Amino acid sequence: MKILRARDYRMMPWKNGGGSTAEIAIEPADAEMARSDFVWRLSAAVIEESGPFSKFPGYRRILWAWKGEGLSLNGKAVERDRGFEFSGDEAVEATVGETPVFDLGFIYRPEKIAVEWGLFDFSRPERKRLETGEGTQIFFCAAGKVEIDGVNISEGDTAMGATSGTTRLTVTAAARLIWIRVRGRT
């Protein structure tokens, strides 16, 4: 597993110029969001003001509000830690409550890859074996600390790598984890 620390994410402006995002990973690695030549992209942002989301024609988007509350997209509440999936072709208007919302966003080309995801909320110390199957596994720590196959990540950090089979998760206190699996379409 490759560990990507929040402090090392690449900061860049939103496509619509309305804010900035921390790019966590992009595939292929030499792709650019501005050129829209990527297959998938993972990023984190802080939404502080209401306004339009950038359009990404031909892409699907999944958004998780992992910290803060009060985010709505086109009038539909985005519950904390529940994924909200929508088309990149859609005009999407975000409404934010009184406090900023931290989000995790995954944008992908559905004709190129298949995406599965899950949310793990650990309320106490626990060890878990996760049958991840084949593909690129992405683990984003939304709260607390999690050990993934012997490597620790903290809130805002990401562990990512190609695996097949089982991934071992260990938590020593309350923690939340967002898991994404990416597989190429055949």
pTM score of the predicted model: 0.92
pLDDT tens column, 38-75: 999 999 999 888 999 889 999 999 999 999 888 999 99
Please give the domain boundaries of the chain with CATH numbers for all domains: 2-108 (2.60.120.10), 113-184 (2.60.120.10)
pLDDT given for residue 127 in this prediction: 92
Mean per-residue pLDDT, 5-23 = 84
Q: Which residues contact 136 (CB under 8 A, 6 or more apart)?
A: 27, 160, 161, 162, 181, 182, 183
Coil vs helix vs strand at 99: coil
pLDDT given for residue 185 in this prediction: 78
pLDDT given for residue 104 in this prediction: 96
Mean per-residue pLDDT, 101-115 = 96
Higher pLDDT, 185 or 184: 184
The gap between the terminal CA atoms of the chain, to the nearest Å, is 25
pLDDT given for residue 94 in this prediction: 92
Residue recorded with tokens 């490759």: 2
pLDDT given for residue 144 in this prediction: 95
Q: pLDDT-derived band of residue 18, with 50, 70 and 90 as boundaries? A: low
Asked if pLDDT for residue 186 goes beyond 70, the answer is no
User: What distance in Å separates the CA atoms of residue 46 and residue 48, rounded to the nearest whole number?
Assistant: 6
Rounded (5°) CA angle 34-40-41:
65
Proportion of the chain above pLDDT 70, given as a percent: 97
Nearest CA among 86, 81, 87, 14 for reference residue 51: 14
Asked if pLDDT for residue 105 goes beyond 90, the answer is yes
Sign for the CA dihedral angle at 39, 43, 115, 84 comes to: negative
Asked if pLDDT for residue 81 goes beyond 70, the answer is no
- The single-letter code of the amino acid at 26 is I
Higher pLDDT, 175 or 13: 175
Average pLDDT, the chain: 91
pLDDT tens column, 115-156: 999 999 999 889 988 888 889 999 999 999 999 999 999 999
